[in-house]
Amino acid sequence: MLDILKEITTSLPKSKISAAAFEGANIVLYTKDEKYVFEGTSDVKAIVNKLKKRIELRPDPSICMDMEKAEKQIKKLIGKEAGIGEIHFDPQRSCVIIEAEKPGAAIGKSGEKLLEIKKKTLWVPTIQRTAAIKSQIVENIRSVLYENSDFRRNFLHKTGERIYNGWLRQKKEEWIRITYLGAAREVGKSAILLQTPESRVLLDCGINVADNKAPYPYLEAPEFKIDELDAVIISHAHLDHVGFLPYLFKFGYRGPVYCTAPTRDIMCLSQLDLVKIQVNDGQDPIYTSEEVKEMVKHTITLNYEEVTDITPDVRITLYNAGHMLGSSMIHLHIGNGLHNILYTGDLKFGKTHALSQAACTFPRLETLMIESTYGGKDSVLPPFKEQDEKLKSMIEETVKRKGKVLMPVLGSGRAQEVLIIIQDMIKNKRIKEIPIYIDGMVWDMTAIYTAYPEFLNNTMRNRIFHKNDNPFLYPNIKHIGSRKEREQLIESTEPCIILATSGMLVGGPSVEYLKKIGDDPKHSLIFTCYQGPGSLGRRIQQGERSFSYKEKGNFLTTEIKLQIEKFTVTGHSDRRELMNFVYRCNPKPKRIIINHGEPKQSADLASSMRRSYNVEVNLPRNLDALRLK
Ligand code: ZN
């Protein structure tokens, strides 16, 4: 047994503790003494205060009530009004997950129902919200976790051993180094390797969907050794940050992946969608659903502002980034106060319809690694009102022409923002009610939004919980679930709005619609997100008015005659917001590293930050390494 576990067990009354194990950075003690489960809490509290570690006391699995009986008991104790769904037991860890439509009612006043369940059954209950929209894929993700209960207990214990086992490597001096394996002077393939004398940590592992020449991060860099990697931390679920992650599992990585729960669910969706698109395009997929499953099994989810050790000398905290559901900025505390880094991932330092603005107060901060997607001198977003009016009139004009509005969207985040905006126009009677068809992974994504309302901003949470006004559930939303339904929609003459992935027109249903409706001027095409260089979306924005493709062995061309517009609802900060974020950052960073932007955007932002804040600003290229300490 490891020293820390020994120290804990010997400081508790003899014979009370039957087992001690790690669950990542947390420590779990098991007892076979039914009374001690409740009476032992004060003993445990004393150790928590002494060691400053999260320690939980649980009943030993052998004394938990028989599962069938426990299920009946749980249903009786919670009562019908909570709308109990499925109940999943995790027999290795004495835990039970109870799905409920109304978590509040299931938990009871200050948790009284949960305590009652624990007392009666000796299972430790957690309540999980039932998603208001059913999604097969979300259920699959959850069942992967439930089915691998044995594996999870071992994996979490091993992860804890790595954290607590002390140093693997000889520590001769202290240094910190980061290497850009991607996303330096480009938007795409975010992957940054952090090295300390003890740890190897990867921040994000994305692909560049728009770049055919170098779509994947430079894992061949000499610094990167997959078998030495301790942990991967994911900022958010967009493919340019997670698209390459299952590939690590294909090549043997078996360590933890840290992210928020919505990020885990959404990244699975995006990765499986990517595989599907590659197969449909006749390519060999870079990985399969097996590797995605492996990734899920190795994921450890964290809440915002939950502090956790991930190696002996790296402690992380995720902060809200305001960019999409579950998006985080990663704060890394290295060594014992040696250095603090904030990696922003993609951030929105401004309010959106669904999310709160990014956090800007941190316990300590020396190095800031910040995105620069809209960092250029002229990257100032038009006022929302102006855009909103433009979208409104575009929809109205298209409806008048009896056309369809095709909006290519990123599955995650932007699509839901667009949905809320249009639904609010209808609700406030600014436009007539119009059907909104949702194709591609946007549907499943919307399901995830309804499953994690606690990650939405206050206004949206209130609408959903207290006013029963969930814009994702209005009856005009329709799901396109098959090729046949898509064909029927294309054939129909009914004016409508179509939200379809991919957002840059690089494969997926959005391209399928464009092939069929692109040559008819009564329809319109509205871009909603950044269009990467080389993507069909960017080419159309630059004036290309036809595109060719292969269909059933024939080469076909579609002329582009529909009305084209841009409606920028971005989850990114524009230049003013980026500058403002650094201005508001508390404490002020001593060094700023600019990444995740096209060369000109990054360079513009770097020079402005240098001038305004008088700190060291770096503008690395891919494969550059920087020593931070
Ligand atoms: Zn993003």
| pLDDT, tens only, 575-610 | 999 999 999 999 999 999 999 999 999 999 999 999
Phi-psi region of 330 (alpha: psi -120 to 50; beta: other; left: phi over 0): beta
Name the strand (E) or helix (H) holding 198: none
CA of 346 to the centre of ligand 1 (A): 5
CA of 110 to the centre of ligand 1 (A): 37
CA of 358 to the centre of ligand 1 (A): 13
CA of 373 to the centre of ligand 1 (A): 10
CA of 588 to the centre of ligand 1 (A): 24
The model's pLDDT over 336-391, given as tens digits with 9 standing for 90+, comes to: 889 999 999 999 999 899 999 999 999 999 999 999 999 999 888 888 888 899 99
Type of residue at 473: L
CA of 179 to the centre of ligand 1 (A): 20
CA of 258 to the centre of ligand 1 (A): 17
- Taking alpha carbons only, the member of 201, 208, 203 closest to residue 230 is 201
CA of 462 to the centre of ligand 1 (A): 26
CA of 422 to the centre of ligand 1 (A): 22
Q: What is the pLDDT of residue 511?
A: 95
CA of 92 to the centre of ligand 1 (A): 37
CA of 236 to the centre of ligand 1 (A): 7
Structure tokens at 621: 């290229």
- Per 3-state DSSP, what percentage of the chain is helix, strand, and coil (rounded to 5)? 35, 20, 40
> pLDDT-based confidence at 173, cuts 50/70/90?
confident
CA of 181 to the centre of ligand 1 (A): 17
- Taking alpha carbons only, the member of 359, 373, 393 closest to residue 596 is 373
- Taking alpha carbons only, the member of 71, 58, 36 closest to residue 122 is 58
CA of 210 to the centre of ligand 1 (A): 14
Assess contact for 297 and 290: CB atoms under 8 A. no
CA of 310 to the centre of ligand 1 (A): 24
CA of 596 to the centre of ligand 1 (A): 10
Q: pTM for the complete prediction? A: 0.90
Q: What is the pLDDT of residue 146?
A: 85
Q: What is the pLDDT of residue 278?
A: 85
CA of 374 to the centre of ligand 1 (A): 12
CA of 208 to the centre of ligand 1 (A): 12
CA of 598 to the centre of ligand 1 (A): 14
Domains in the chain: ranges and CATH: 4-62 (3.30.300.230), 75-130 (3.30.300.20), 168-256+264-286+323-377+575-627 (3.60.15.10), 384-566 (3.40.50.10890)
The model's pLDDT over 288-342, given as tens digits with 9 standing for 90+, comes to: 999 999 999 999 999 999 999 999 999 999 999 999 999 999 999 999 889 999 9
Mean pLDDT (the chain, rounded): 93
CA of 58 to the centre of ligand 1 (A): 39
CA of 302 to the centre of ligand 1 (A): 19
CA of 15 to the centre of ligand 1 (A): 51
Strand partners, 193: 179, 202
CA of 387 to the centre of ligand 1 (A): 21
Q: DSSP E strands: which ranges in 196-256?
A: 200-203, 231-233
Report, as an integer, the average pLDDT of 113-125: 96
Q: What is the pLDDT of residue 1?
A: 60
The model's pLDDT over 484-512, given as tens digits with 9 standing for 90+, comes to: 999 999 999 999 999 998 889 988 899 99
Q: Which long-range contacts (CB under 8 A, 24 or more apart) does 3-10 make?
A: 3/164, 4/51, 4/53, 4/164, 7/51, 8/47, 8/51, 8/55
Percent of the chain with pLDDT over 90: 75
Report, as an integer, the average pLDDT of 264-293: 90
Report, as an integer, the average pLDDT of 107-134: 92
Name the strand (E) or helix (H) holding 627: strand 625-627
Q: Give me the half-sphere count of Cα atoms (radius 13 Å) on the Cβ side of residue 241.
A: 29
Where b means 16+ CB within 10 Å and e means fewer, 222-251 reads eebebeebbbbbbbbbbbbbbbbbbbbbee
CA of 239 to the centre of ligand 1 (A): 8
- Residue 310, classed as helix, strand or coil, is strand
CA of 491 to the centre of ligand 1 (A): 34
CA of 190 to the centre of ligand 1 (A): 10
CA of 347 to the centre of ligand 1 (A): 8
Assess contact for 99 and 71: CB atoms under 8 A. no
Give ion ligand 1 contacts, CB < 5 A. Answer: 238, 346
Does residue 2 carry a pLDDT above 80?
A: no
Instruction: Give burial (CB, 10 Å; 0-12/13-18/19+) of 498.
Output: buried
- Residue 531, classed as helix, strand or coil, is coil
Residues 6+ apart with CB under 8 A from 2: 161, 164, 165
Query: Per residue, what are the HEC states of 103-141?
Result: HHHHHCHHHHHHHHHHHHHCCEEEEEECCCCCCHHHHHH
Assess contact for 191 and 203: CB atoms under 8 A. yes
How many angstroms separate the CA atoms of 390 and 408, rounded?
17
CA of 19 to the centre of ligand 1 (A): 42
CA of 375 to the centre of ligand 1 (A): 15
Strand-strand pairing, 299-301 and 257-259: parallel
- Taking alpha carbons only, the member of 204, 177, 446 closest to residue 343 is 204
How many angstroms separate the CA atoms of 543 and 365, rounded?
45
Does residue 170 carry a pLDDT above 80?
A: no
Q: What is the pLDDT of residue 11?
A: 87
> Per-residue DSSP letters for 163-203?
HHS--SS---S---EEEEEE-SSSSS--EEEEE-SS-EEEE
In this structure, of 32-41, 55-64, 100-109, 125-134, the range with the lowest mean pLDDT score is 125-134
Compute the residue count for the chain. Answer: 629
Assess contact for 342 and 362: CB atoms under 8 A. yes
CA of 372 to the centre of ligand 1 (A): 12
Does residue 397 carry a pLDDT above 80?
A: yes
CA of 323 to the centre of ligand 1 (A): 7
CA of 570 to the centre of ligand 1 (A): 10
Structure tokens at 79: 């009562």
Q: What is the pLDDT of residue 393?
A: 94
Name the strand (E) or helix (H) holding 332: strand 328-334
* Measured CA angle at 574 (ends 569, 580), to 5 deg: 135
How many angstroms separate the CA atoms of 500 and 528, rounded?
11
- Residue 60, classed as helix, strand or coil, is coil
DSSP type of residue 252: T
Q: What is the pLDDT of residue 580?
A: 97
CA of 240 to the centre of ligand 1 (A): 7
Does residue 124 carry a pLDDT above 90?
A: yes
Percent of the chain with pLDDT over 70: 99
